[in-house]
């Protein structure tokens, strides 16, 4: 049972890492630093809705650590951790209310991710002047959150029955 659970979460961790890596390969340059599509967040959202917050949190944390080691730097890991930490907290809380669907939860998570990153940047660089950058990041977080939310909702509808059938005994 433990091996099946480890394989299950390992599969989702691998999917998240590959999605993050593929995103780096896509020539997406909106002209503003720090804007990303957030493809790896699709995995987090599917886990949040199909498995629950604990699984989403574990895989998201492992993805940030491993992704930072494999593809990034220490600073990139700090910014990712701040953004993802605030994002997953907001998404968990909003999902628990039952007032928002997958797209709304993802949108709020995208904006929270960018807010977390800008707050860390302001602390690291010891300047408040970066706050002017927040509207740009809120807009990009909104757009990315909508895209991730739509795709996550579509995937969740199709994957949830399969996950429950194949792995129901190992997930809460």
pLDDT at 48: 97
CA dihedral 21→136→126→129, nearest 10 degrees, is 160
> Residue 139 domain-assigned?
yes
**pLDDT surpassing 90 at residue 52:** yes
**pLDDT surpassing 90 at residue 76:** no
As a whole number of angstroms, the distance between CA 141 and CA 159 comes to: 25
Degrees (nearest 5) of the Cα angle 88, 149, 45? 40
What one-character DSSP code corresponds to residue 128? S
Look at residues 125, 165, 140, 167 and name the one whose alpha carbon lies nearest to residue 29. Answer: 140
**pLDDT surpassing 90 at residue 10:** yes
- CATH of residue 7's domain is 1.10.1760
> Residue 33 domain-assigned?
no
> Residue 172 domain-assigned?
no
Sequence-ordered alpha helix ranges (H) in the chain:
2-25, 40-50, 53-71, 74-97, 102-125, 134-167
**pLDDT surpassing 90 at residue 90:** yes
Number of domains in the chain: 1
Place of tokens 């997406």: 28
> Residue 98 domain-assigned?
yes
> Residue 34 domain-assigned?
no
The mean pLDDT of 132-152, rounded to a whole number, is 93
> Residue 86 domain-assigned?
yes
- Domain, as residue range, for 128: 2-27+39-167
> Residue 32 domain-assigned?
no
As a whole number of angstroms, the distance between CA 56 and CA 35 comes to: 23
As a whole number of angstroms, the distance between CA 125 and CA 160 comes to: 43
pLDDT at 87: 95
In percent, how much of the chain has pLDDT > 70? 97
> Residue 75 domain-assigned?
yes
């Amino acid at each position: 049972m433990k091996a099946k659970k480890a394989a299950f979460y390992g599969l989702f961790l691998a999917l998240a890492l590959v999605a993050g890596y593929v995103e780096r390969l896509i020539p997406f340059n909106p002209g503003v630093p720090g804007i990303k599509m957030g493809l790896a967040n699709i995995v987090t959202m599917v886990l949040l809705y199909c498995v629950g917050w604990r699984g989403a949190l574990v895989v998201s944390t492992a993805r940030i650590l491993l992704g930072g080691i494999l593809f990034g730097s220490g600073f990139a890991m700090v910014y990712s951790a701040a953004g993802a930490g605030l994002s997953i907290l907001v998404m968990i809380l909003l999902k628990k209310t039952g007032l928002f669907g997958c797209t709304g939860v993802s949108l709020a998570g995208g904006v929270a991710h960018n807010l977390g990153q800008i707050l860390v940047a302001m602390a690291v660089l010891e300047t408040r002047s970066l706050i002017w950058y927040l509207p740009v990041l809120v807009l990009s977080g909104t757009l990315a959150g909508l895209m991730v939310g739509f795709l996550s909702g579509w995937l969740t509808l199709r994957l949830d029955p399969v996950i429950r059938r194949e792995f129901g005994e190992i997930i809460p």
